[in-house]
């Protein structure tokens, strides 16, 4: 007989039915391995579902953040226009001023409806780098170092995320 046709004798001796205890042990190990794979697949599916839910919620809450950011300068311009209008302008262009006020009020209402809140720092407030952006530092007498001395622009939050920090000037007055 040729060597190619010969099969080793060990193959005939390794019959799984020869020792039932080995077969049971092998089947238990295979079952445990399959259970482990199944549990991991189940956990992966649950994690995917949770991640998809979080992504959906984030898209709902923060999907309009680009549009919101683009509207912030409109709010700033309307606010500046009202702040710049003196008594004389208010008297001579009362209808125009009223229209600007109504537009600003409506824009503020839309911001509130969509979870946008205005950060309105005031002079004397403590500087907070989480919500303020320091545009300059200056030693102003009668102020405390690290406190706001001037507000250039209000900041805005979208729900719990910062859309834009408030732009402020900060005192660098050394302690006396």
pLDDT in tens, 109-122: 999 999 999 999 99
The token pair that represents 96 in the structure block: 């125009």
pLDDT over threshold 90, residue 57:
no
Residue-wise pLDDT for 138-167, tens only, equals 999 989 999 999 999 999 999 999 999 999
The per-residue pLDDT for range 9-18, each reduced to its tens digit, is 444 445 555 5
- CA–CA dist 160, 26 (Å, integer): 55
Residue range 13-35: mean pLDDT, rounded: 79
What does pLDDT average to over the chain?
87
What is the predicted pLDDT for the residue at 16?
A: 53
Q: What is the pLDDT of residue 1?
A: 46
pLDDT of residue 15: 57
Three-state helix/strand/coil letters over the chain: CCCCCCCCHHHHHCCCCCCHHHHHHHHHHHHHHHHHHHHHHHHHHHHHHHHHHHHHHHHHHHCCHHHHHHHHHHHHHHHHHHHHCCHHHHHHCHHHHHHHHHHHHHHHHHHHHCCEEEECCCCCCECCCCCEEEEEEECCCCCCCCEEEEEEECEEEECCEEEECEEEEEECCCCC
Which pLDDT band holds residue 66 (cuts at 50, 70, 90)? confident
Q: Is the dihedral of CA 158, 72, 98, 168 positive or negative?
A: positive
CATH number for region 116-176: 2.30.22.10
* CA-closest candidate to residue 159, choices 100, 103, 111, 99: 111
Spatial contact of 157 and 117, defined as CB atoms under 8 Å apart? yes
User: Once rounded to an integer, what is the mean pLDDT over residues 67-93?
Assistant: 91
Mean pLDDT, to the nearest integer, of 19-35? Answer: 88
pLDDT for the residue 18: 58
């Amino acid at each position: 007989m040729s060597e190619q046709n010969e099969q080793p004798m060990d193959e005939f001796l390794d019959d799984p039915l020869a020792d039932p205890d080995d077969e049971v042990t092998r089947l238990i190990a295979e079952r445990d391995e399959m259970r482990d794979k199944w549990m991991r697949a189940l956990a992966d599916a649950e994690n995917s579902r949770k991640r998809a839910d979080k992504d959906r919620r984030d898209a709902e809450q923060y999907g309009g953040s680009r549009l919101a950011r683009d509207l912030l300068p409109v709010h700033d311009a309307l606010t500046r226009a009202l702040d710049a209008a003196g008594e004389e302008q208010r008297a001579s262009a009362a209808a125009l001023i009223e229209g600007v006020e109504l537009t600003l009020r409506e824009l503020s209402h839309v911001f509130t409806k969509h979870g946008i809140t205005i950060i309105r720092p005031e002079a004397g407030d403590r500087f907070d780098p989480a919500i303020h952006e320091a545009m300059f530092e200056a030693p102003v007498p009668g102020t405390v170092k690290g406190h706001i001395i001037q507000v250039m622009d209000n900041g805005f939050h979208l729900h719990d995320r910062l859309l834009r920090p408030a732009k402020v000037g900060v005192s660098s007055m050394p302690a006396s």
